[in-house]
Each structure stands twice: as C-alpha cells, then as structure tokens.
Amino acid sequence: MAKKTPEEIIQEADALIRQVQQSLEDTPEIYRAHGLDAGQLNASMGPKEQAEAEAVFRKDMEDIEREVAEEAARLSFANAEPRTGGGMRKMRNMI
C-alpha cells in the first residue's frame, strides 16, 4: 500500500464527495427515465417498508463508519514513527 499524504487523502475525499453529489442530482432524471415518480414510491411505502429501509440505511452507515475508522487506524499505524528510545527497556525487578 502506498503512503498517501493528508493532502492526497483530502483530494480523493473531495472527488468522491463531488461524485456522490452529482449522482444524487442525477437521481430524479434516472427515475423519470424509467417512468418512476419518487414521491409516489415514497407514498406507496407502508410503515413496515419504511422501517425496513431505515434499518438497512442505518446498518450501511454503521458499516461505512466502522470501515473508515479501521482504515484510519491502519493508516495511523502505517505512518507512525518507530520508537527510537535507545533499544530495549530496562527490566523491572520482580518482588
């Protein structure tokens, strides 16, 4: 894995954000192209379907947050400076 600078990570994140925003802006056009009306679809969902959709959405968001935290931890360990405190620590006397 190549080491990335914070600036590169920020640039990649900004590019992904722009891509997602563009996809969200295109969503109504995609619905119309397939003859769907988002308002009617949402209105036709019952409480059970809405609860299921909300649960799936929350699980996806939790998974994303977990993956981001794991990747941040991996990067912090990969970029950590090695300890150079003069070798091994002095052994403690056992009582």
Q: What is the pLDDT of residues 13-51, one digit of tens each?
A: 999 999 999 999 998 898 889 888 888 888 888 999 999
Task: Round to whole Å and give the CA distance between 88 and 86.
Answer: 7
Q: What is the pLDDT of residues 61-83, one digit of tens each?
A: 999 999 999 988 888 887 777 66
pTM of this prediction?
Answer: 0.50
Higher confidence at residue 41 or residue 88?
A: 41
Residue 4, Cβ neighbours under 10 Å: how many?
14
Closest CA to 38 of 50, 47, 30, 46: 30
Higher confidence at residue 12 or residue 87?
A: 12
Q: What is the pLDDT of residue 94?
A: 80
